[in-house]
């Protein structure tokens, strides 16, 4: 049985040029408990834009074991050199939103697609034109389970 609370972190430096790429390893990783069994999720992000370019950070989810990732959350865009901190707690939604897939994210900035997160999450990061020095990204995923599921 999984613990009532679990925190997993993805952290790393962005590319030092304009690109879109996955950052870090998907969660859960090897040896980590299944995240789909948790009731709630709060995500905290500390984002520092790269020198010369913007930073877009997406949380993508996979429901097929990591073969296909689709956009789940797109934090607000971060300006070059700026540091921003964000938090979001995804909830069920009846709003239809366009999402991207894989290395072609499309979810609008400052948007959460909503709904359950599924069994696997990862970060997709886009650094904008003019980027010359890497930025940094730390995203913490705080999962919790209610007592009734104990």
Q: What is the pLDDT of residues 25-56, one digit of tens each?
A: 999 876 666 898 899 999 999 999 999 999 99
CATH architecture of 5-149: Sandwich (2.60)
Contact 134, 50 (CB under 8 A): yes
Share of the chain above pLDDT 90, in %: 79
* Predicted local confidence at residue 47, as pLDDT: 98
Answer yes or no: pTM beyond 0.85: yes
pLDDT greater than 90 at residue 118: no
Residues in the chain: 150
Nearest partner of 138 among 148, 125, 120, judged by Cα: 125
């Amino acid at each position: 049985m999984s613990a009532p609370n679990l925190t997993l972190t993805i952290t790393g430096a962005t590319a030092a040029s304009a690109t879109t790429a996955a950052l870090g390893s998907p969660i859960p990783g090897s040896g980590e408990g299944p995240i789909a069994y948790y009731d709630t999720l709060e995500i905290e992000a500390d984002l520092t834009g790269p020198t010369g370019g913007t930073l877009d950070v997406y949380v993508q989810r996979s429901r097929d074991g990591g073969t296909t990732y689709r956009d789940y959350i797109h934090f607000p865009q971060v300006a070059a050199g700026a540091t921003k901190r964000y938090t979001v707690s995804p909830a069920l939604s009846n709003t239809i939103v366009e999402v991207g897939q894989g290395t072609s994210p499309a979810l609008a900035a400052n948007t959460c697609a909503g709904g359950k997160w599924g069994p696997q999450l990862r970060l997709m990061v886009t650094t904008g034109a003019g980027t010359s020095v890497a930025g940094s990204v730390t995203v913490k995923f705080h999962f919790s389970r209610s007592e009734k599921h104990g």
